[in-house]
Amino acid sequence: MIEIGKINTLTVLRETAVGFYLGDTEGGEVLLPNSYIKEKPSVKEKIEVFIYKDSEDRLIATLRKPIVKLNDFACLRVNAASDIGAFLDWGLEKELFVPFSEQKFNMEEGRYYVVRVFLDDVSKRIVGSSKLEKFLSNEEMKLEGGQEVEIMITEESPLGYSCIINGMHKGLIYHNDVYQDLFVGDEQIAYVKLIREDKLVDISLQKGGFKNVLSATEIILEYLENNDGFLNLHDKSNPEEISEKFAMSKATFKKSIGVLYRHRKVLIKPDGVYLVVNKEGTEEQSEEQTQEGE
């Protein structure tokens, strides 16, 4: 059966003046237009094509692969906007249509928006929607505190950044938990910080508790090893400097430096942090640091 919105493996049946007709094992047929072909396929050859509908409501095959598949989310650019809807670039010859009724906010040409691609029940056409909430639910979640998840940033608000969790749920990253630049459409690994009684999910970009500190120590050590063993930050540095360099909070930075010092891997001086390079140096420098602390 030929499936719209998916990659189909079909057989080339015949060549015509307008293109090649492809078929499945159940007798279905679809046109692959000449304008979509760079190299002509052979009759009886099996090829992979994406299926969607053209402006005349006919099934059409293309050899191109879309940026996003059916029932997935993606951040796409608006190529054109009108009173009836917007047309987004999703990698195919025909742009993805987002009806005006499916826009959370009026889309503007040249801007990027996170949309859900779905099959319209009435027209049976593939369309997009920026009204993401209707495709997400927090009613039944298999999430727990500290769990690693995949997120996509969807929107910034006065509270923080809204995000999609594992393609199914909605979450929020509060501004005071953000120590790096974030943009709509960003996809990355994050962690469940808190699941509230009202089923709202707080998300953190860093591991919680001591796991976060251990991860941060690795980042700091790598920096020291790649920068001649010196870091011009210390426990008196302002939070903005620390956030800009390492995308972590000052509290995490101080705990991480403390862990490294207790393991005799760094020396802390008024001008910054120094990497300890050998055992003898560690003992001498640690004594010096102890005296300075006194």
* Structural domains of the chain, ranges and CATH numbers in brackets: 7-62 (2.40.50.140), 73-133 (2.40.50.140), 148-204 (2.40.50.140), 209-293 (1.10.10.10)
Question: What tens digit of pLDDT does each residue of 222-275 get?
Answer: 888 899 889 988 777 888 888 888 877 787 888 888 878 877 888 888 888 899
Task: Give the pLDDT band (50/70/90) at residue 278.
Answer: low
List of E strands, the chain = 7-15, 19-23, 29-33, 46-53, 59-62, 73-81, 85-89, 96-99, 112-119, 126-129, 148-156, 160-165, 169-174, 187-195, 201-204, 230-231, 266-269, 272-275
At residue 57, the pLDDT reads 82
Task: Give the pLDDT band (50/70/90) at residue 211.
Answer: low
